[in-house]
Amino acid sequence: MAGISSICSNPDDRAALTTRSVYIHVPFCRHKCGYCDFTLVAGRDDLFDRYLAALSQEFQVHGFDPSRPTEVDTLFLGGGTPTHPTVSQLRALLELVRDYFPLRSGAEFSVEANPLDLTDEKIELLSEFGVNRLSLGVQALRDDLLTLLERDHRAVQIGPLLERLRPVFASVSIDLMFGIPGQTLGDWEQSLRDVVAYDLPHVSTYGLTWEPNTAFSTRLKRGELNRADEGLEGEMYLAAMEYLGAAGYRHYEISNFARPGFECRHHLVYWNGGDYEAFGPSAARHRAGRRETNVRSVLGWLSAVESGRSVVGDAEDLDPETRARELIMLQLRLDHGVIRDAFSQQTGFAFNDLAAGQLAELLASGLLEDTGEAVRLTRQGKLLGDRVAAEFL
Amino acid sequence: MFDQTKIRNFSIVAHIDHGKSTLSDQILLKSGAITEREFKEQLLDDLKVERERGITVKARAVAVNYTYNGEVYEINFIDTPGHVDFHYEVSRSLAACEGALLLVDAFQGVQAQTVANAYAAINANLEVIPVVNKVDLPVTRIPEVLEEIESVIGLDTTDVIKTSGKTGAGVEDCLAAIIERIPSPKGNPKDPLKALIFDCKYDTYRGVITYVRVKEGRLYKGQKIYCMKTAAAHEVLEIGQFRPHMEPCEDLGPGQVGYIVTGVKVLGTIHVGDTVTDYHNRAEKALPGYEVPQQMVFCGMYPIDATDFEHLRDELEKMSLNDASFSFAADTSDALGFGFRCGFLGMLHMEVIQQRLEQEAQVDLIQTAPNVTYQLVKTNREEVFIDNPQEVPDAGSIEEFREPIAKVQFILPSDKIGPIMQLCADRRGVYLTTEYLGPKRVQLTWELPLAELVFDMYDKLKSITQGYGTMNYEVIGYRPADLVKMDILVKGERVDALACIVHRSVAERRGRAVCKKLKEEISRHQFEIPIQASIGARIIARETISAVRKDVTAKCYGGDISRKRKLLEKQKEGKKRMKQFGQVEIPQKAFLAVLSTGEEG
């Protein structure tokens, strides 16, 4: 624990730049929820062995070798539902990952988890392999909303689950959604009070995103679902800032709140323009200005790996200026914003030179504030973060 | 030189969609000028915009050789546009021919432009051969259609030709009729050269390509020629014919149609309608040429990026070389900066030019709403023409406001008379006559203000009559009307490029419709934007665009930063086609909102 807080309390999170980070996409789910557009297969657990074999092959293609393992500072298993596979499958996955990417001392190992998957056996297994951060897909704390979201747990199951997790994992985070059809501001505020009462180290709040090609978008078009009013969504977001802020959480990123020292170090690598390896379908990696995204389809990724073809679906080499502008987009998501000195050291560009056209207007409109040392989003600016970020691209 | 008695020049005139292009291609196919594969595409429509819209905009000329009764004939085929806006191009093409096929759809029968184009051909003293096309359709009305051709146009249909562009049936009959019925061109090859310039286009590599029809004398490679109107001399570097692609030849004699390349790169030195003669042996008198067409519709075109102004001017010059019916003049607007005021034959013409500018010239444009030309009599009795609403003076200095009036012929199914009469009455029309063309088809004649006609009457007519109604019009003069200038204010500031001239009786309805449309077109900002319409100082309509309350993507798509960045870049890209006006960004399309009539509700 001491290790985590000593790195993350660094005010500009610069540690992210020297961190060795690995993301692994585990694309298995019991069911594809209506709002979800992540890469996954539901009801195809039979593909697990092929997935595992392909994963180890992908490690090797990228030059990783279990005889000379690569120690990592942050490891993140996302999905899909990484806790969906059976105990023995999960063990095999964790062994494979450990063989290639053992944890360095003080490393953060995060796993996304579905509450009902977390049997005592799986909890023990995750702990055995050094998982010290669980991100729980709770999403809502009202049963009718959980049903609408097609989640399999009930609200009442969360409290007791957390009591079982607390002694085992150094950090537990829960995801909560706002802007769900039918959700009122009162409902949301009650969820926030419930979450504060759980007294967890980390909370993520997400406004429901209506992604095209999801069942939700189809239902929206047919008029079966109503999209939450944008004003209401804004109020819900402000309520999250207010309730969680008052409870001592740092709103360290647009969607993330943490007790000091419990920020997700893996995600800070993304938001600070750092490098990270990534494996599995749809996984995205970054190495010194080259960004690659694997093919999104699970079967497409499998067959590419198996036939020895490249699994990269999209790749781009960013020129220095694009890279610098991208960093503005990313760091504006962080509470400290773009720190001028650190920015010019990292990119070779002076922030003010890149922002000459837009800065004055955005400051005047009250969406950005300038502390001299840094430029960051105001409270109002956080509500319109995409708009502000787009100005700098 | 080709035996003059074996030359035939013809056009096909038809109402739009009566199958002209397909039949044209069949003629090319049957004479061996094109292959089956080339036939698959509408070959004569070589402008991208024409292929996209499936219409012919510019006239084209193709020469084919065809063997008939053992003799080789040269048949020059001059394609013509069918839409009412391009009537001027039709008359130009007809002047280069001795005959025309009048194509009539076997089901739709005689339509408004069939009548207009047939009369144009008859007035040009052409031999007109009636052809009933699309006889392969499952349902046809051939006997009624023949009766319409006889009664409405007055052509004898005893020897009518029945064709199908789709199957190729009757195409040989057409070729036979062209050879037997259309006279060979007159003209003496020994006389001084007289060739009519009927079109031209600009080619990046070869310069100006001039389309000519030789009337007298002989045109040959290496000849020094003289353009009589522009008084300019050129050397013929290449002459040739379109077969259908450019094919060089040694000379062209009376009746032949082809092209000249002189290496001229300077725009504006070649004029459509001019007469080409021999520099050393000049003709005494030029050919009659063409009437300069009247522009009916005007709009402003402004480059979104001000540095594109000169580039846009060059492109407009090229465009006007290719299309004499289009005019432009430099103009400025407080809202849009430096740009051009452009004149067009009609709405379709305007859309085509705008599309060509964007596609061929790659200039991003903001186009203001089109309007017609008005006439003002000021209190000091001075008479002025106004083709830009910004130029309307204070109401106090206007004695009389006059608008152009058109005489309009509609041909439509008789059960739709009611709704069309109502539409014309709503649009301040004056009813003239009703004539029955047959038991179920009727021709209505109205006088309508041009402003009420040009923007959407054609679309309205098509929708009311399920596509069966057609129209044609000509402007007959100006009449006084109770017109006012309507201003639009965005966030309290008047946007001059959104001003328009409306009839007082419909000003409030139009004002509401325009404000509503602008509300749809202008995206929300982080503040409220009031949109108002006013006449003088009086506000007649108002809408408010609400502020954006939340715009931030929660998740960052795992580590897929590229996807996130591209989404935001796209958002930013959309703003490039907007014009910043004060704090408000107004998209290109919003400037056309002024056309909203509010008739729907």
Q: Do A387 and B526 touch (CB under 8 A)?
A: yes
B489, burial (CB in 10 Å: exposed 0-12, middle 13-18, buried 19+) = middle
Residue B513: strand, helix, or coil = helix
- Say if A314 falls within a structural domain: no
Same domain flag for A251 and A347: no
Q: Which residues contact A27 (CB under 8 A, 6 or more apart)?
A: A39, A40, A41, A51, A79, A80, A280, A281, A282, A298
Q: Do B572 and A390 touch (CB under 8 A)?
A: yes
Taking the CA atoms of B33, B37, B39 and B44 in sequence, report the sign of the dihedral they define: negative
Taking the CA atoms of B312, B313, B319 and B322 in sequence, report the sign of the dihedral they define: negative
Q: Do A282 and B562 touch (CB under 8 A)?
A: no
Check if A255 contacts B (Cβ < 8 Å).
Answer: yes
Structure confidence by residue, pLDDT tens digits, B386-414: 988 988 998 889 999 999 999 999 988 89
For tokens 């739009």, the residue is B16
Tokens of A43: 């009801």
pLDDT, average across residues B351-366: 81
How many Å apart are CA B410 and CA B397, to the nearest integer? 38
- Say if A278 falls within a structural domain: no
Least-confidence region, from A38-42, A375-379, B284-288, B526-530: B284-288
Q: Is the pLDDT of residue B478 over 90?
A: yes
Q: Which residues contact B531 (CB under 8 A, 6 or more apart)?
A: B488, B489, B490, B515, B518, B519, B522, B542, B543, B544, B545
Q: How far is B544 from chain A (nearest CA, A)?
A: 16
Burial A328-358 (b: 16+ CB within 10 A, else e): bbbbbbbebbbbbebbeebbebebeebbeee
The answer to whether the beta carbons of residues B11 and B24 sit under 8 Å apart is no
The answer to whether the beta carbons of residues A264 and A110 sit under 8 Å apart is yes
For residues B119 and B260, the model is more confident at B260
How many Å apart are CA B71 and CA B5, to the nearest integer? 11
Classify residue A117 by its DSSP letter. G
Q: How far is B393 from chain A (nearest CA, A)?
A: 37
Same domain flag for A85 and A194: yes
Question: Of the candidates A219, A240, A271, which is a domain's last residue?
Answer: A271
Same domain flag for A258 and A382: no
Q: Is the pLDDT of residue A179 over 90?
A: yes
How many Å apart are CA A83 and CA A81, to the nearest integer? 5
Query: CA-CA distances (angstroms) from residue A310 to A50, A277, A315, B29, B50?
Result: 17, 15, 11, 49, 43
What residue in B sits closest to A234 (Cα-Cα)? B550
- Say if A299 falls within a structural domain: no
Question: Of the candidates A244, A271, A298, which is a domain's last residue?
Answer: A271
Domain count, chain A: 2
Same domain flag for A253 and A392: no
Q: Which of A156-165, A207-216, B60-69, B372-381 has the highest mean pLDDT?
A: A156-165
| Kind plus residue range of the DSSP H or E element containing B171 | helix B171-181
| Kind plus residue range of the DSSP H or E element containing B460 | helix B457-464
Q: How far is A207 from chain B (nearest CA, A)?
A: 6
Query: CA-CA distances (angstroms) from residue B452 to A135, A244, B447, B578?
Result: 65, 61, 11, 29
> Residue A52: what pLDDT?
97
pLDDT, average across residues B198-215: 83
Classify residue B184 by its DSSP letter. P
> Residue B553: what pLDDT?
80
Q: How far is B564 from chain A (nearest CA, A)?
A: 9
Classify residue A276 by its DSSP letter. B
What residue in A sits closest to B572 (Cα-Cα)? A390
Burial B4-24 (b: 16+ CB within 10 A, else e): bebbbbbbbbbbbbbbbbbbb
Q: Is the pLDDT of residue B555 over 90?
A: no
- Among the partner-chain residues B554, B558, B572, the one whose CB lies closest to the CB of A206 is B554
Q: Do A384 and B551 touch (CB under 8 A)?
A: yes
Q: Can you name the residues that pair with B207 across neighbouring β-strands?
A: B203
Q: Which residues contact A173 (CB under 8 A, 6 or more apart)?
A: A133, A134, A135, A136, A200, A201, A202, A203, A204, A258, A264
- Chain A residues in contact with B559 (beta carbon < 8 A): 23, 270, 276, 278, 283-286
- Among the partner-chain residues B555, B562, B568, the one whose CB lies closest to the CB of A209 is B555
Check if A314 contacts B (Cβ < 8 Å).
Answer: yes
Q: How far is CA B413 from the centre of its chain?
A: 26
> Residue B554: what pLDDT?
74
> Residue B44: what pLDDT?
47
Check if B563 contacts A (Cβ < 8 Å).
Answer: yes
Domain of residue A364, residue span: 335-393
> Residue A236: what pLDDT?
96
Check if B30 contacts A (Cβ < 8 Å).
Answer: no
Check if A265 contacts B (Cβ < 8 Å).
Answer: no
The answer to whether the beta carbons of residues B117 and B49 sit under 8 Å apart is no
Structure confidence by residue, pLDDT tens digits, A290-349: 999 999 999 999 999 999 999 999 999 999 999 999 999 999 999 999 999 999 999 999
> Residue A313: what pLDDT?
92
- Chain A residues in contact with B568 (beta carbon < 8 A): 329, 386, 389-390, 393
Structure confidence by residue, pLDDT tens digits, A251-272: 999 999 999 999 999 999 999 9
The answer to whether the beta carbons of residues A253 and A333 sit under 8 Å apart is yes
- Quickly state the pLDDT bin for A122 (edges 50, 70, 90): very high
How many Å apart are CA B57 and CA B55, to the nearest integer? 6
Domain of residue A124, CATH code: 3.80.30.20
> Residue B577: what pLDDT?
66
HSE of A290, CA atoms in CB hemisphere, 13 A: 6
- Quickly state the pLDDT bin for B292 (edges 50, 70, 90): low
Name the amino acid, one letter, at B131: V
The answer to whether the beta carbons of residues A330 and B561 sit under 8 Å apart is yes
Same domain flag for A228 and A123: yes
The answer to whether the beta carbons of residues B104 and B131 sit under 8 Å apart is yes
For tokens 């007469």, the residue is B275
- Say if A283 falls within a structural domain: no
Q: Can you name the residues that pair with B64 across neighbouring β-strands?
A: B75
Classify residue B476 by its DSSP letter. E
- Say if A249 falls within a structural domain: yes
Check if A387 contacts B (Cβ < 8 Å).
Answer: yes
Same domain flag for A162 and A42: yes
The answer to whether the beta carbons of residues B272 and B293 sit under 8 Å apart is no
| DSSP assignments along B539-563, one per residue | EEEEEEEPPP-----S---TT-HHH
Check if B547 contacts A (Cβ < 8 Å).
Answer: no
- Helices A320-331 and A340-347 cross at an angle (nearest 10°) of 150
- Say if A179 falls within a structural domain: yes
- Chain A residues in contact with B558 (beta carbon < 8 A): 23, 25, 38, 78, 278, 282-284
| ipTM for this prediction | 0.88
Q: Which residues contact B338 (CB under 8 A, 6 or more apart)?
A: B302, B303, B306, B309, B330, B331, B332
Largest pairwise CA distance in chain B: 83
Same domain flag for A223 and A350: no
Same domain flag for A79 and A196: yes
- E-strand ranges in B466-525 read 470-480, 483-490, 493-494, 500-503
Check if B552 contacts A (Cβ < 8 Å).
Answer: yes
What residue in B sits closest to A387 (Cα-Cα)? B551
The answer to whether the beta carbons of residues A14 and A342 sit under 8 Å apart is yes
Check if A207 contacts B (Cβ < 8 Å).
Answer: yes
- Helices A87-100 and A48-61 cross at an angle (nearest 10°) of 0
- Chain A residues in contact with B550 (beta carbon < 8 A): 207, 230-231, 233-234, 237, 383-384
- Say if A85 falls within a structural domain: yes
Report the residue count for chain A: 393
- Chain A residues in contact with B553 (beta carbon < 8 A): 209, 385-386
- Considering chain B, what is the average pLDDT of its residues? 85
pLDDT, average across residues B43-50: 48
Check if A386 contacts B (Cβ < 8 Å).
Answer: yes
> Residue B51: what pLDDT?
46
pLDDT, average across residues B496-517: 91
Query: CA-CA distances (angstroms) from residue B343 to A96, A256, A293, B33, B510?
Result: 73, 58, 51, 38, 24
| Kind plus residue range of the DSSP H or E element containing B453 | helix B450-454
> Residue B53: what pLDDT?
44
Least-confidence region, from B75-79, B97-101, B482-486: B75-79
Q: How far is B490 from chain A (nearest CA, A)?
A: 19
> Residue A156: what pLDDT?
96
Check if A211 contacts B (Cβ < 8 Å).
Answer: no
Q: How far is B556 from chain A (nearest CA, A)?
A: 9
Check if A270 contacts B (Cβ < 8 Å).
Answer: yes
Same domain flag for A142 and A266: yes
- Among the partner-chain residues A231, A255, A285, the one whose CB lies closest to the CB of B554 is A255
How many Å apart are CA B195 and CA B215, to the nearest integer? 5
Q: Is the pLDDT of residue B600 over 60?
A: no
Classify residue B19 by its DSSP letter. S
Check if B572 contacts A (Cβ < 8 Å).
Answer: yes
For tokens 């560009």, the residue is A349
| Kind plus residue range of the DSSP H or E element containing B376 | strand B374-378
Q: Checking DSSP bridges between strand B60-68 and strand A374-377, what pairing results, if any?
A: unpaired
- Quickly state the pLDDT bin for A127 (edges 50, 70, 90): very high
Same domain flag for A66 and A141: yes
How many Å apart are CA B132 and CA B144, to the nearest integer? 11
User: Which of B546, B550, B569, B580 best tests the A interface by mutation, with the highest count of A CBs <10 A?
Assistant: B550
Query: CA-CA distances (angstroms) from residue B458 to B60, B296, B424, B433, B468?
Result: 26, 15, 12, 19, 11
- Quickly state the pLDDT bin for B267 (edges 50, 70, 90): low
The answer to whether the beta carbons of residues A15 and A266 sit under 8 Å apart is no
Residue A325: strand, helix, or coil = helix
What residue in A sits closest to B527 (Cα-Cα)? A365
- Quickly state the pLDDT bin for B124 (edges 50, 70, 90): confident
Q: Is the pLDDT of residue B52 over 70?
A: no
Q: For chains A and B, what is the number of CB pairs under 8 angstroms? A: 100
- E-strand ranges in B204-256 read 207-216, 219-220, 224-227, 232-235, 238-242, 246-249, 251-252
- Say if A276 falls within a structural domain: no
- Among the partner-chain residues A231, A326, A391, the one whose CB lies closest to the CB of B549 is A231
Same domain flag for A255 and A351: no
How many Å apart are CA B314 and CA B331, to the nearest integer? 15
- Quickly state the pLDDT bin for B50 (edges 50, 70, 90): very low
| DSSP assignments along B248-263, one per residue | EESEE-TT-EEEEE--
Same domain flag for A262 and A360: no
Question: Of the candidates A254, A271, A288, which is a domain's last residue?
Answer: A271
For residues B49 and A123, the model is more confident at A123
Q: Checking DSSP bridges between strand B257-261 and strand B207-216, what pairing results, if any?
A: antiparallel
Q: Which of B226-230, B302-306, B419-423 has the highest mean pLDDT?
A: B419-423
Q: Which residues contact A9 (CB under 8 A, 6 or more apart)?
A: A260, A261
For tokens 């520099």, the residue is B279
User: Which of B548, B552, B576 best tests the A interface by mutation, with the highest count of A CBs <10 A?
Assistant: B552
Share of chain B above pLDDT 90, in %: 41
> Residue A5: what pLDDT?
34
Check if A190 contacts B (Cβ < 8 Å).
Answer: no
Q: Is the pLDDT of residue B438 over 90?
A: no
- Chain B residues in contact with A390 (beta carbon < 8 A): 568-569, 571-572
Q: Do A384 and B564 touch (CB under 8 A)?
A: no
Structure confidence by residue, pLDDT tens digits, B223-241: 999 999 888 899 999 999 9
